Each structure stands twice: as structure tokens, then as C-alpha cells.
Copies of this chain bind each other. A is one copy, B any other.
Amino acid sequence: MPDDGKPDGRLIDTRSSVRPLDERRLAVLRAIVQDYVGTEEPVGSKALVERHNLGVSPATVRNDMAALEEDGFIHQPHTSAGRIPTDKGYRLFVDRLAEVKPMTAPERRAIRHFLEGAVDLDDVVARTVRLLAQLTRQVAVVQYPSLTRSTVRHIELVSLTPTKLMLVLITNTGRVEQRMVDCPGPVGESLLAELRARLNGTAGGCRLPEVPTLLEDLPTGFEPADRPSVSTVLTVLFETLAEQNEERIMLAGTANLTRFGHDFPLSIRPVLEALEEQVVLLRLLGETGDSAMTVRIGHENAYEGLNSTSVVSVGYGSGDQSVAKLGVIGPTRMDYPGTMGAVRAVARYVGQILAES
């Protein structure tokens, strides 16, 4: 929704002749967002001029607030209360008023050090998600490196019974997938060795989605009697490759949901429900751009249960390619610059760690 996503465009363009006013209004909005994020309470004109040196009186700020409200950036819970940013207000804030807050050097060192201690892929993901939850004090989500972008490191076939095989697929990201294969006929050691060698010879090092086309004609190279078994193995292998659903996700920091709001069970429940639905989470992350950071605010989230939350997510990868996504889920009233900084930093370092191992 590029139209909806930049509601500020209109405002800035049409009034660009009256620049100083707009500047100040934006400053007011920025101040409101910052204060509200800090206090969780509607912020009034007086408090605003006290805390930020805007150089004008409360009355003036009130006028600006009225204008901002008319344009839908802020909102008043009731007549005699302060203002709260709307989703649209946060959107403007994120797009034009906020700068991603970089991590400090000690923080960066700590992140790196913590992630370097990981022993295997599971551990990398586990550490990443915990770290992210801790840094942002919100709910963190990390997707396992996806199969689609990775390459085949090795395919192994293990004979369990004469007709039963186990197929093990190892990717360059360290991920391992295994499947049982029930062959139509017995599979001898020599056939197994031959098949293993051909599979690895042809597909080794290739990107997973390309594998099926590469191996399509493989059965024709075998004795007619063996072909059914070879085909079965291939079918299972292709299934494994295609099984996007198997994309796993790890969560952490759900306890931070308790810091969500005052109107409790109602606000937290749908979020907890969403978090349990892998599908929802996967789709959420799936909407993330590959390299650019994505921020979805409140109702911008397709899933209804997350309408009062914001999602900050970004892709990460070993090397230049993004192989998976990670992100953070928190209340719309969150510290966007800080959260975005943490998400970006963590994504960068996980990428490095993955590239090294």
C-alpha cells in the first residue's frame, strides 16, 4: 500500500511553501511520540513544552495538535485528555522523523561475543532469538535459514532394512533434513553407493530449487529393475526440498508481553494466539523485504490479532544473500529507533556468524 504508506507525502508537498510551520508540527509529533512511548500516558500541550524546548507556548502547541489531529496523526481518548499517536502518526514518525539508533560499541561487542559462542545452527538461532528479546525487551522471532536459498552440501542414503532407506539432506547453512523412504523393491549396497555418488555428483553444491531439474533424468542411467526405487528416492527428495511448510521458527521473550498495556487479558490474548500459529508468524516474516528493514504498524498487519502491535523485521543471510528473516513484535507504542537499531545489528551479526561457519 504505497499510497497509504506515505500519508505524509500529501502534507509536505501541498504546504511546502509554509515550511517553518510544518517543521514545527512535525517536531511536535515527534515529541508526542517520544513522550508517549516513554510514559504510556496521553501527553498534553503543557508537559510537551516543558520537556522539549520547542520555543513556543502551550497554546501554540495546542493549535498544532488540533491540526495534527485533523490530519489523523494523533488522537484524543476523550475531550479533556492529552493526545496519543495513531498508527498513521507512528508511520510518519518512522518514515520521516526517526533515525535508526545504532548500537553502542560495547553493545555490538557483546552481541558478537554472545553469538560467537554458538556451537551449531540450532544454537545460533536460539542465541539470536534470546538476544533479540533481551535487547528490545519485546517478543523476538527468528526463522531458521530457509532451504530455498541454500545449497546442497551432501545427500546421504542409509539402509535401514532391505527396502527401507533413510534420506538425509545436509545444506550449506548446516541444516539437516531427514526422511524415511519405502522402496518398492530391495536396494543393495552397491546400488545405494552408486545412487549416493550420482546424487552428490550432480546436485552437490547446487541451490535447492534447481535440484529437481538437474536430477530429473537420473533414473534412466540405472538398470531398469532399479529404476522404481531410484524414482521413489527422488520423489521423497523433491518433497523434502519443496517442503516450505517445514520452515521452523523460534520465539523468545513472550514474558515481555506482560508489559503491554493495562487492559490486560484482552490485549494479550490474541497476540499469544498469533504467536502460536507458525503459519501466521511465517507469513508475517514472509512479508518482510529481503534486505530492507520492514516496519508494520498496528493495522498494517494483515493478521487481525496483531492489530495493536508493530512488527519490525529484516532479512539476514550468510554472505550477500538473505536466507531467512528475523524480527520483533511489540506494542505499537514501542521505541522504534532503538528497536530498529537492535534488529539491524543482530541481523548483521547473525549473517556474519553464519557466513563464517
CB A185 to nearest CB in B, in angstroms, measures 20
* A269 x B255 contact (CB < 8 A): yes
Residues of B within 8 A of A276 (CB): 252-255
CB A147 to nearest CB in B, in angstroms, measures 15
Interface centre among A153, A168, A258 (most CB of B within 10 A): A258
- Per-residue interface assignment for chain A, residues 274 to 295, with 1 indicating a CB less than 8 Å from any chain B CB and 0 otherwise: 0110000000000000000000
CB A2 to nearest CB in B, in angstroms, measures 34
* B156 x A156 contact (CB < 8 A): yes
Q: Say if the beta carbon of A166 comes within 8 Å of chain B.
A: yes
Bound complex: CA of A200 vs CA of B275, how far in Å?
42
Which residues in chain A, 22-41, are within 8 Å of chain B measured between CB atoms? none
Contact of A258 among B168, B254, B268 (CB under 8 A): B268
CB A273 to nearest CB in B, in angstroms, measures 4
CB A176 to nearest CB in B, in angstroms, measures 5
Q: Say if the beta carbon of A272 comes within 8 Å of chain B.
A: yes
Bound complex: CA of A93 vs CA of B268, how far in Å?
33
When C-beta atoms are compared, the residue in chain B nearest to A265 turns out to be B258
Q: Say if the beta carbon of A170 comes within 8 Å of chain B.
A: yes
Contact of A154 among B166, B252, B253, B257 (CB under 8 A): B166
Residues of B within 8 A of A154 (CB): 158, 160, 166
Q: Say if the beta carbon of A148 comes within 8 Å of chain B.
A: no
* A166 x B160 contact (CB < 8 A): no
When C-beta atoms are compared, the residue in chain B nearest to A168 turns out to be B168
Bound complex: CA of A276 vs CA of B255, how far in Å?
8
Q: Say if the beta carbon of A352 comes within 8 Å of chain B.
A: no
Residues of A in contact with B, size category: 20 to 34
Bound complex: CA of A259 vs CA of B273, how far in Å?
13
* A158 x B160 contact (CB < 8 A): no
CB A145 to nearest CB in B, in angstroms, measures 15
Q: Say if the beta carbon of A301 comes within 8 Å of chain B.
A: no
Which residues in chain A, 318-349, are within 8 Å of chain B measured between CB atoms? none
Q: Say if the beta carbon of A222 comes within 8 Å of chain B.
A: no
Which residues in chain A, 235-260, are within 8 Å of chain B measured between CB atoms? 252-255, 257-259
- Per-residue interface assignment for chain A, residues 30 to 61, with 1 indicating a CB less than 8 Å from any chain B CB and 0 otherwise: 00000000000000000000000000000000
Residues of B within 8 A of A231 (CB): none
Q: Say if the beta carbon of A264 comes within 8 Å of chain B.
A: yes
* A170 x B166 contact (CB < 8 A): yes
CB A187 to nearest CB in B, in angstroms, measures 14
Q: Say if the beta carbon of A178 comes within 8 Å of chain B.
A: yes
CB A166 to nearest CB in B, in angstroms, measures 6
Residues of B within 8 A of A273 (CB): 255
Contact of A272 among B160, B166, B254 (CB under 8 A): B254
* A258 x B269 contact (CB < 8 A): yes
Residues of B within 8 A of A170 (CB): 158, 160, 166, 178
Return 12 A-B CB contacts under 8 Å, by A number: A120-B179, A153-B160, A154-B158, A168-B176, A170-B178, A252-B276, A253-B276, A254-B254, A254-B276, A255-B273, A258-B269, A259-B265
Beyond A158-B168, A254-B275, A258-B265, list 11 extra A-B contacts (CB 8 Å).
Answer: A153-B160, A154-B160, A156-B166, A156-B168, A170-B178, A254-B254, A254-B272, A254-B276, A255-B276, A257-B272, A259-B265
Q: Which 3 A-B pairs have the closest CB atoms?
A: A255-B272, A264-B264, A258-B269
